[in-house]
Amino acid sequence: MGAGGSLFVTVFLPFLAALAVPGLGRMFGRRLGTVLALVPLAILVLHLPRLATRVEAKGSIPWAPDLGLSLAFRIDSLALAFVLLIATVAAAVFPYAGAYLGADRRFFATLLAFMGAMLGIVLADDLILLFIFWELTSVTSFLLIAHHSERPEARRSAQQAFLVTFVGGLTLLAGALIIGHEAGTTRLTELPDTVRATPAYLAVVVCVLAAAFTKSAQVPFHFWLPNAMEAPTPVSALLHSATMVQAGVYLVARLDPFLGGTLLWTDALTYVGCVTAVLGGLLSLRQYDLKRLLAYSTVGALGLLIAAIGQRAWGAFYGFFIAHGLYKAAMFLVAGSLDHGGGSRDVRTLAGLGPKMAVTRGTAIAAGLSMAALPPALGYVGKEGLLHAASPLLIGATVIYGATSLAVAALVALRPFRKGVPPESAHEVAGGMRLGAAILAALGIALFPLAPALGRVFVGEPFALVAPGGWSLVTWAAGVGLYALWVARSPQGRPSTFSMDRLYDGVRRNGFTLAAFITRRVQHGYLNGYVRAVFGTLVVLVAYGIARALPTALPRELEAPTFYEFALAVTMIVGAGAAVVSASRLAAVAALGIVGYGVAVIYVRFGAPDLAMTQIAVETLTLILFVFTFYYLPKPQRRRNPGPRLRDGIVAGAVGVTMTVLTFIASAMQNDGKLNRFFSENALSEGKGRNVVNVILVDFRGFDTLGEITVLAVAGLGVFALLRMPKRERGGGPSAP
């Protein structure tokens, strides 16, 4: 493994740290955030040297060789850019979060898990592995957005973000499977170029782009991102500006060598990206809440990045990607600081905070320079790169977006600090909150002179530090104009006659109405109704299968039963009969017990001691459970009309007959015994055990058993939850007598 080992450490260290959070929380208390920042810092230290030396490395562990699945990781310049950005932003956000939220163990564990999953996405070398980490980020993002779970808005936004991105993830899985089928492998470093030529190409592109566009909030899937601002500010800074939303961008960039170059790919990316950039930018100016301003701005930035990939403008892509990640995260942290120290996120009312929040102001200005694409900030390099692109569409989108970007930057960095009267309680925020944001903003400036070197590492040619071109001047001028317009018009409320958000709401509401309707019809509360429905369906389906098999399947020679077998059968039949006719529930239960124990004796008789022991134990426990439950029920009523009994009797009889015929047919079927022989012969040599049943359960078919105990655990928790639900009026009638 060697060099690849560092990749495994990078991905799994955050998860291990997440497991250790409860203990670490107890040890470090309020300093938890700062201590946990060591994790991203360690990753940073691990990978920074790659900037100077060899970037590429790989490592893999076989997971299920028969399925072609491995735990495979790989780093190259694209992945490195993402890893460094993720680690840098995380290192700044963790101490901030510690000061903002205190030592919230649940929060930090989830945040660490998110970071691990994000790193997993960019370092994964296998598409299926990438998918798993992709959905993991959706899940952790859901938990983080809903952190203030007592707020209905937070819950709704988290649900919305999760639904949109999770469905996108499923299309990613579909795309990955198609690629795997066409290319013969799901290893990214082994994908051939030929996928482009196959007829499945369209399907693959649709799936991949659906996944990328939902995750990266492209039009028309952009509506979840502004709502995700319900999350605590550190979450917005890490997830919804610099990392998670960039996952879609990463996916597109990663697959471009294999899927790109065609008109479909290029046009889809360019058009969707540019539309998103323009829409995001313009919509941002209708906002007055600091975080929503930045959220829409992020939507636009993601659009530009997607379009840049479409145009294969890699220099511009890397430059803008790095700059945006740094300044946007810094801006979000500033917004959080203004909220915390200035008491509000409303840009219309914030004023006069300059003197009291000097550090935050300095940070905001530094980040704002980058955001407005003014030298000497890295953002300038990024935007210049975009403005020198070949496509007029991209240039146009960049001009428009750049103008709005400058306006938003001014709104966040200048407006709250202008001359005015601050609220009484205004104060500068704690050190942890200042430091992180300041470092991110400072990096935006410090990297400016290093831009050429960065370009050489990532793209092979240096980023040019050129003088501003004509388009830049246009952008700046337009930006100033937009800012002035905003100040003059002062937006009133949340926008839009047509809103994807409202469409989502409508779909969701109707979905729930439909679900409620169906549930009311199907879940009527009558237990014997449920049983009849299940058994009735079972009989119909099995009978159909039997009817089809009947002409060819003949029951084999039947042996005459021995005396003991006969006696056993009679006892069981008597027991079953007694269960049906007895008036007392307890007597019925006891009679059922006779049948159950009878089955156990059958197991013993035919040589299955494990089954017999399990059957006896389960039967005993079930009887005890029945007795406990029946204790609370009212006395059974005497039924006067025979109608319902007859109906139940018919269903029961049909089930019995069907299962008996099925058993005959099954035992008559030709069985070549290959499986039997394999297991009996290999149980001792391979499985090292003489109990074939057990060896099958825990060794040969161990994975199935793992699934079974998981189901068992969920069932147990489900029973617990059901029985502990608070008593309230239950719709529906009494259960079975």
Partner 1 sequence: MARLLLPVFLIFSVFLLMRGHDSPGGGFTGGLVASAGFVLYGLVHGPRSVRRALRINLKPLIGIGLSIGLASALIGPLMGRPFFSAYWWKLPFGPKIGTPAIFDIGVYVVVLAVVLTIMLAREEREA
- Binding residues for partner 1, per CB under 8 A? 1, 61-65, 71, 609-610, 613-614, 617-618, 620-621, 624-625, 628, 687-691, 693-695, 697-699, 702-703, 705-706, 709-710, 712-713, 715-717, 719-720, 723-724
Q: List own/partner pairs for 237-240 with CB under 8 A and 24 or more apart.
A: 237/89, 237/93, 237/96, 237/328, 237/329, 237/330, 237/332, 237/333, 237/336, 238/89, 238/90, 238/93, 238/111, 238/114, 238/115, 238/329, 239/114, 239/141, 239/144, 240/295, 240/298, 240/332
Least Å from the CB of residue 319 to partner 1 = 39
Nearer to partner 1 by Cβ, of 678 and 720: the residue is: 720
Least Å from the CB of residue 336 to partner 1 = 34
Least Å from the CB of residue 64 to partner 1 = 6
Least Å from the CB of residue 63 to partner 1 = 5
Nearer to partner 1 by Cβ, of 545 and 609: the residue is: 609
Nearer to partner 1 by Cβ, of 263 and 723: the residue is: 723
C-alpha distance from residue 156 to each of 291, 507, 547, 736 (Å): 18, 14, 51, 39
Least Å from the CB of residue 62 to partner 1 = 5
Nearer to partner 1 by Cβ, of 61 and 550: the residue is: 61
Nearer to partner 1 by Cβ, of 106 and 456: the residue is: 106
One-letter amino acid at 505 equals: D
One-letter amino acid at 636 equals: P
Helices (H), 637-736: 643-668, 674-685, 692-695, 702-724
Contacts of 724 (CB under 8 A, 6+ apart): none
Nearer to partner 1 by Cβ, of 476 and 700: the residue is: 700
> What is the Cα–Cα distance from 241 to 331, expressed in whole angstroms?
10
**Spatial contact of 699 and 687, defined as CB atoms under 8 Å apart:** yes
Least Å from the CB of residue 705 to partner 1 = 7
Nearer to partner 1 by Cβ, of 496 and 710: the residue is: 710
Nearer to partner 1 by Cβ, of 420 and 609: the residue is: 609
Least Å from the CB of residue 604 to partner 1 = 10
Ramachandran sector of residue 217 (left: φ over 0; alpha: ψ -120 to 50; beta: rest): left
**Spatial contact of 436 and 95, defined as CB atoms under 8 Å apart:** yes
Q: Give rounded-to-5 percent helix, strand, coil for the chain.
A: 75, 5, 25
Least Å from the CB of residue 496 to partner 1 = 45
Place of tokens 């000097």: 358
Nearer to partner 1 by Cβ, of 510 and 614: the residue is: 614
Nearer to partner 1 by Cβ, of 180 and 687: the residue is: 687
Least Å from the CB of residue 20 to partner 1 = 15
What would the DSSP string read from start to end of 182-249? HHS--BGGG--GGGGGSTTHHHHHHHHHHHHHHHTT-TTSTTHHHHGGGS-HHHHHIIIIISTTHHHH
Least Å from the CB of residue 663 to partner 1 = 24
Least Å from the CB of residue 10 to partner 1 = 16
**Spatial contact of 377 and 323, defined as CB atoms under 8 Å apart:** yes
Least Å from the CB of residue 692 to partner 1 = 10
DSSP 8-state symbol, 53: S
One-letter amino acid at 522 equals: V
> What is the Cα–Cα distance from 455 to 322, expressed in whole angstroms?
11
Nearer to partner 1 by Cβ, of 190 and 610: the residue is: 610
> What is the Cα–Cα distance from 604 to 608, expressed in whole angstroms?
6
> What is the Cα–Cα distance from 214 to 220, expressed in whole angstroms?
8
Least Å from the CB of residue 89 to partner 1 = 30
At residue 74, φ and ψ (nearest 5 deg) are -155, 140
Nearer to partner 1 by Cβ, of 535 and 630: the residue is: 630
Exposure b/e, 160-189, CB count within 10 A at least 16 = b: bbbbbbbebbebbbbbbbbbbebbeebbbe
Q: Report the SS3 class of residue 376.
A: coil
Least Å from the CB of residue 61 to partner 1 = 5
Give the Cα-Cα-Cα angle 203, 208, 211 (nearest 5 degrees).
125
> What is the Cα–Cα distance from 479 to 371, expressed in whole angstroms?
11
**Spatial contact of 75 and 123, defined as CB atoms under 8 Å apart:** yes
Nearer to partner 1 by Cβ, of 4 and 319: the residue is: 4
Nearer to partner 1 by Cβ, of 366 and 612: the residue is: 612
Nearer to partner 1 by Cβ, of 595 and 608: the residue is: 608
Question: Burial, 463: exposed, middle or buried (Cβ in 10 Å; 0-12, 13-18, 19+)?
Answer: buried
Nearer to partner 1 by Cβ, of 282 and 697: the residue is: 697
Name the strand (E) or helix (H) holding 487.
helix 470-489
Least Å from the CB of residue 142 to partner 1 = 21
Least Å from the CB of residue 295 to partner 1 = 37
> What is the Cα–Cα distance from 137 to 114, expressed in whole angstroms?
6
> What is the Cα–Cα distance from 705 to 84, expressed in whole angstroms?
41
Nearer to partner 1 by Cβ, of 5 and 491: the residue is: 5
- The most distant pair of C-alpha atoms in the chain lies apart, rounded to whole Å, by 103
> What is the Cα–Cα distance from 506 to 524, expressed in whole angstroms?
27
C-alpha of 639 from chain center: 53
Least Å from the CB of residue 630 to partner 1 = 12
